[in-house]
Amino acid sequence: MNPILLNLKLPDNEKISIDYYTPSFHKENPILLILHGFKGFKNWGFFPYISEYFCSLGYATFTMNFSLNGVTDEVGDVFDIEKFARNTLSRELNEAEIMIDWLLKDTINSLGIHWNKKLYILGHSRGGGIAALTNSRRKEVTASVHWASVGKFGRTTTRQNELWKKSGKLDIPNSRTGQVLHQNYSYYEDLQQNNESLSIINAVIKTSNPMLFIHGSQDLVIRPQEVSVLPKLNAQKIVHYKEINQTGHTFSVQHPMEFVPDALTNALEVSSTFFEDPFNFNK
């Protein structure tokens, strides 16, 4: 299945690159927006497969690259270090909301989508955190799924933050590409200045749109305990947690993806079941 490549130009002349997967059936279609995580991109590993999976179920699927994720090609083997360094959480949250506005205002009609008024978000890792914030802020969101999501932003120690402030940047080795990326100190400043609006805990407490957190039991990047406690914070009981045994942060997928592991199939089946009836999930 070959997606249609779309580009959304932003006011600062950066752009969001988008793969649009066109559903081949259903008179009315839900929309699914897919968000990648830290050092991720829309063509990494399982994202094309996820997109095709939901498209085959009738979803109009949009998988995006955040504008400053740094990827300079479709394969994702080269990063623009300067762009990657300028990225912030507030920017990614803003871009997720820009995508929703763009989809609902102009794009649905221009692409000939017969929208059924249901809009879902699926985010992985840091993208799962951005998806949670977007869910709680936007009434248009029907429900969201969060794969191996962070339960909080701000993962550096006090000592690291001191060195970060002193040097102005934090080195981020990319073991897959061999590059040494870095984040400007402005990333940390943004998190501190917008601590309340960037709180995943606050998003979980406040949301009126269902959420499902799916986590691998052997995730060593983000421990399951970080997110398994989140459903207890939502008084409406519309936030859920599902753990998949014997798999880690990427559900046993590497880049490029050479086979479909059982853990990925499991995550997809649970996600699609949740989207079918999110208010009655696990009842």
Compute CA distances 115 → 59, 119, 121, 138, 196, whole Å.
9, 9, 15, 17, 33
Q: For the chain, how far is it from start to end, CA to CA, in angstroms? A: 35
**Which residues does the chain have with pLDDT short of 50?**
none
- C-alpha distances (whole Å) from 66 to each of 71, 77, 86 are 9, 16, 12
Q: Which of 16, 96, 30, 88 is nearest to 59 (CA)?
A: 30
What is the pLDDT, as a whole number, of residue 75? 74
Fold of 4-153+197-280: Rossmann fold (3.40.50)
User: Residue 32 belongs to what H/E stretch?
Assistant: strand 29-35
pTM score of the predicted model: 0.98
Q: Distance (Å, rounded) from C-alpha 259 to C-alpha 263?
A: 11
The residues, any chain, with a CB within 8 Å of residue 144's CB and separated by 6 or more, are 120, 121, 122, 123, 131, 132, 134, 135, 209, 210, 211, 212
Q: Is 258 exposed, middle or buried (0-12, 13-18, 19+ CB in 10 A)?
A: exposed
The predicted structure's pLDDT at residue 201: 98
Kind of pairing between the strands at 15-21 and 60-65: antiparallel
| Average model confidence (pLDDT) across the chain | 96
d(CA 95, CA 15): 10
pLDDT confidence of residue 1: 82
Taking the domains of the chain in order of start, what are their residue ranges? 4-153+197-280
pLDDT at 177: 84
Q: Tell me how far apart the alpha carbons of residues 40 and 198 are, in angstroms, rounded to a whole number.
A: 20
